[in-house]
Amino acid sequence: MVANLHLEVEFLSVSLTHFGQFIDHDVISTPILKESRNQINQKTSFLDLSVTYGNTLDGQNDLRELGTGRLQEGINRLLPTGPPGSECLAGEECFKSVLGEEGMNMFGLRSKRFGFNTLYDPSANPSTRNAFGAAAYRFGHSLVGSLVEAFNEDFTPRAREPMEDHFFSTRLIRDFTTFGPDAIARWMTTQFKSRADRFLTPAIRNRLFQTMPGNGFDLGSLNIQRGRDHGIPSYNRWRQFCGLQPALHFGIGPLGLTNHCASAARALQSVYSHPEDIDLFAGGMSETPVPGALVGPTFRCIIGLQFMYFKIGDRFFYENAFVPTGFTAG
């Protein structure tokens, strides 16, 4: 169902892939527990850079200077070597790339160019929804390419290395001779990202976290199993939740998989006995993207609603005109 393929989109760069990863890891982390199975989110649900600065006292002490609260620095003003993890605050441009212009308007995600825009609703629940964290926002895995590259100051390619050789490694960031943050950033802002679709690069489909040939993980399979572990309702149930027609058969005509191309529908039919059995990740990932967006209508609904609740349920959201927590009006 989730196959190996690498296609590029010639209008969005690799930066979107990594920025989306920052957002994902800022709002969701699902631990594996030894005791009874339970869905726990280890992160704060707010887009608050909590992992950059620490969301626990121990985390803050590891990352910050005592007294000043500033981030600790090591060689070349990089963070000291430690456990991997980087988080980033989301911006409107990232939302627009994922949801499209129509989706931005549908979920009220546009920010005003000037002044305040207080939309805070104390009854809105800003918690990270299970379907968002365990399935829908994992669509970004299809944006991942197979290489890490470095570009020269004139934005010509300098070097490249396989992605699978650098999971959980900061070596390339600290290699100022060939790679380093500047050369990698030039690549990220210049190179086109992979297409958002049902295909994953072999680096994460067959060789995720590989330490020797043959012991890598399949991220597509992990995503499907994660949804089952969390008890995420089926693709059809989420279609109904979003006001969309659930599929009654595997055809692409009326009452079928109307948001899928014929090849995606056949792939689903080859592994599921009935449309009611389709997992949310598999069904949503294989939808044809809405024009101007990176995702189909089902994932657009789930992701758009989540970002809306992140916005209106956060009393510290930057557009709120609250004293003393609000910003100065521009």
- Residues sharing a CB contact under 8 Å with residue 104, sequence separation 6 or more, in sequence order: 92, 95, 96, 110
239 burial level (CB within 10 Å; 0-12, 13-18, 19+): buried
Phi, psi at 8, each rounded to 5°: -100, 150
CA pair distance 200, 206, nearest whole angstrom: 9
- Residues sharing a CB contact under 8 Å with residue 103, sequence separation 6 or more, in sequence order: 109, 290, 293, 300, 304
CA pair distance 223, 268, nearest whole angstrom: 16
Q: Is 260 annotated as a binding residue?
A: no
Q: What is the DSSP letter of 43?
A: S
10 three-state secondary structure: strand
CA pair distance 90, 311, nearest whole angstrom: 11
CA pair distance 93, 248, nearest whole angstrom: 36
The alpha-helical segments, DSSP class H, found in 208-296 are 219-229, 235-241, 262-271, 280-285
Structure tokens given for 73? 């620095």
Q: Find out whether 295 and 97 touch, Cβ atoms under 8 Å.
A: no
Q: Which of 125, 56, 48 is nearest to 87 (CA)?
A: 48
Q: What is the DSSP letter of 32?
A: P
Binding residues: 141
Binding residues for heme b: 141
